[in-house]
Amino acid sequence: MKVKVLNRNEEEFTRERAQDLKKVHRNYEPALHQFQRAHEYTRALNAAKLQKVFAKPFIAALTHSDGITCLARNPRILNSLLAGSADGDIRIWDIPVQRTLRRLKGHTGAVKGISFAPDGETCVSCSTDCSVRLWKVPFAPLEPGPVEAEEAPVFEFQGRNAFRAIDHHWREHLFATAGAAVEVWSHERSEPVNTFTWGADSVLSVKFNPAESDVFASTGGDRSIALYDLRSARPIRKLVMQTRTNAVAWNPMEAFNFTAASEDCNLYTYDMRKLQAAACVHKDFVSAVMDVDYSPTGREFVAGGYDRSVRIFNFNAGHSREVYHTKRMQRVFCVRFSGDGSYVFSGSDDMNVRVWKADASEQLGVTLPREKHKAAYNKALINRYKHMPEVKRIVRHRHVPVAIHKASKMRRIVQDSDKRKLQRRIQHSAPGAITVKPERKKKIVAELE
């Protein structure tokens, strides 16, 4: 007779000394792990609730003496941010310590645009006083102390009319300004190297492509977005839309995609090779969208609107994933993503630059590997059960100011009634008499070459 009875040796299953790690044994037999789905759903629900409990995105407000008109982040140093205001004051901020390191004095009109050079030590700013100034931007080590007023600019470029925007090339010492026309300047020359005109209207903004460095886009007062290449003598393409575009941002990870922030409360993502239809339409604002900026990951972008809110969108999503607002934040004129993709800066009319977290419930600071794992697990759980009604309700819930809530309700009513009317017209007319333009093509008037 052969017999064996289970007999475990306690020493094999427990630790010898208090310094040793405790022994963990796993058995993945499904019979031992019952109710896995129900447990996962419970954990997902708890994770969604905790996410809301820990969602505190506002970090700090950095004050100026007049409304903020432009922001620029240093491509080389994560801490440093430049903000220009309507009284001509430019400040270099050290974000973690929340203090002004330098004040760049020189402009007499509102500073309309600032941009860093790729080396992170020089920056250019343009203003309504028809000048562009080149500054040296030193960065001091972290020490608390009084704000030091800065020296004069290194160089001053004079133009013929007021400038509306400026953007620096990502590789070379060139920058482009927007005013009456698009002008490309070099650091060494006092006259523009190149001038691009198409039509007689004013140019509102200009943006260089970080990936494809010689390509840049501009937006004009004639409701157009124009694409240029520095290697060619004239502009390449022009896309005319139904409403004016306030700002353009290029996707740093996908060289051919850019997002345009339009006056009609939407953002449109285009592939520059196929301008017949938008790749994506991003809707959620109830007033004009003033500025847009991509995250360095290229997976999301932040946009600031005239309706006093800042929204973060996923790069391919039709609606925002997050909305930030405060009673004290007035019209948002400029937004930037931080260099590590964790923070969002918004400059608004109430003279403050606000620092927000990109992920509202993220734990800042150094996290232990177990904390990181737990945060990733919670995120994955919510992602898996996001269609369940309870989880969906909690994850979707956002408090939004009354004005925005009412305005979006009104927009929804108007949209629904327009849609209904159109459907009825189609129903009661000859088939093929009424053509419906897809949403992505609706706002495009023409594409010119």
Partner 1 sequence: MADEPAEQELLTLQASSRKKKKPKQDAYLGGVSDRKLKGQLRHTERLYKEANKAAATINQWLAPSEAGFVEAEGIEETWQIQQQQIVAAVEQGAARKAFDLSLPDLGPYRCTYSRAGRHMLLGGEKGHLAVMEWQSGHLTCEVQVKETTRDVTFLHSEQFFAAAQKKYVYIYDKRGLEVHCLRGHAAPEVLEFLPHHFLLSSIGEQGVLHYQDTSTGQVVATHRTRLGPCDVMRQNPHNAVLCCGHANGTVTMWTPNITTPVVKMLCHRGAVKALAVDPTGHQLVTAGVDRQVKVWDIRTFKPLHAYFANSPATSLDISQRGILAVGQGRRLQLWRDCLSRKAAAPYLTHMLPLGGISSLRFCPYEDVLGVGTAGGVSSVLVPGAGEPNFDSFVANPYASIKERREQEVAQLLDKLQPDTIMLDPDTVGKVLKEPVDVAAQRRQEEAAANAARLASQRDKADERAKMKGRNKPTRRQKKKQMNIIEDKKPLLRAKIQEEERARKEVAQEAKRQKLESVPRALHRLYQ
Query: Nearest distance from residue 438's CB to partner 1, in Å?
Result: 17
The nearer residue to partner 1, 384 or 409, going by C-beta atoms, is 384
Selection from 348, 377, 358 nearest residue 62 by Cα: 348
Burial class (CB in 10 A: 0-12, 13-18, 19+), 189: exposed
**Residue window 288-327: x/- pattern of binding to partner 1, with contact defined by CB under 8 A:** ----------------------------x-----------
The nearer residue to partner 1, 80 or 269, going by C-beta atoms, is 269
Q: Please count the CA atoms within 13 angstroms of the CA of 247 that sit on its side-chain side.
A: 28
φ, ψ at 41 (rounded to 5°): -65, -40
Query: Nearest distance from residue 47's CB to partner 1, in Å?
Result: 11
Query: Nearest distance from residue 441's CB to partner 1, in Å?
Result: 20
CA dist 431 and 221 (Å) reads: 39
Residue 2 touching partner 1 (CB under 8 A): yes
The nearer residue to partner 1, 12 or 16, going by C-beta atoms, is 12
The one among 150, 385, 443, 444 contacting partner 1 by CB under 8 A: 385
The nearer residue to partner 1, 38 or 366, going by C-beta atoms, is 38
How far CA 16 is from CA of 11, 22, 53, 269, 439, in Å, comes to 7, 9, 41, 62, 69
Query: Nearest distance from residue 40's CB to partner 1, in Å?
Result: 7
CA dist 419 and 403 (Å) reads: 24
Sheet strand arrangement including 444-448 = 203-208, 215-220, 224-229, 237-241, 444-448
Longest pairwise C-alpha distance within the chain: 107
The nearer residue to partner 1, 31 or 433, going by C-beta atoms, is 31
Q: Which residues contact 346 (CB under 8 A, 6 or more apart)?
A: 302, 304, 310, 324, 329, 332, 334, 335, 353, 354, 356
The one among 5, 368, 430, 446 contacting partner 1 by CB under 8 A: 5
Query: Nearest distance from residue 230's CB to partner 1, in Å?
Result: 35
Tell me the sheet residues that pair with 98. none
Query: Nearest distance from residue 391's CB to partner 1, in Å?
Result: 10
Q: Which residues contact 52 (CB under 8 A, 6 or more apart)?
A: 361, 394, 397
Other CB atoms within 10 A of residue 141 CB: 6
The nearer residue to partner 1, 46 or 232, going by C-beta atoms, is 46
The nearer residue to partner 1, 1 or 233, going by C-beta atoms, is 1
Amino acid of residue 17: R
Query: Nearest distance from residue 353's CB to partner 1, in Å?
Result: 36
Burial class (CB in 10 A: 0-12, 13-18, 19+), 71: buried
405 alpha carbon, distance to own chain's centre: 22
Q: Which residues contact 321 (CB under 8 A, 6 or more apart)?
A: 300, 312, 313, 314
The nearer residue to partner 1, 2 or 327, going by C-beta atoms, is 2
The nearer residue to partner 1, 29 or 143, going by C-beta atoms, is 29
CA dist 133 and 86 (Å) reads: 16
Tell me which residues in 6-25 interact with partner 1 (CB under 8 A). 6-10, 12-14, 22-25
**Residue window 23-62: x/- pattern of binding to partner 1, with contact defined by CB under 8 A:** xxxxxxxxxxxxx-xxxxxxx--x----------------
Which stretch in 180-188, 231-239, 370-378, 382-390 sits in contact with partner 1 by CB under 8 A? Answer: 382-390
Query: Nearest distance from residue 385's CB to partner 1, in Å?
Result: 6
The nearer residue to partner 1, 13 or 442, going by C-beta atoms, is 13
Query: Nearest distance from residue 262's CB to partner 1, in Å?
Result: 24
Residue 399 touching partner 1 (CB under 8 A): no
Query: Nearest distance from residue 384's CB to partner 1, in Å?
Result: 8
Residue 430 touching partner 1 (CB under 8 A): no
Query: Nearest distance from residue 295's CB to partner 1, in Å?
Result: 20
Let me know: does 194 contact 175? Beta carbons within 8 Å. no
List the Cα angle 286/288/289 in 5-degree steps: 100
Interface contacts to partner 1, rule CB under 8 A: 1-10, 12-14, 22-35, 37-43, 46, 316, 384-385, 387-388
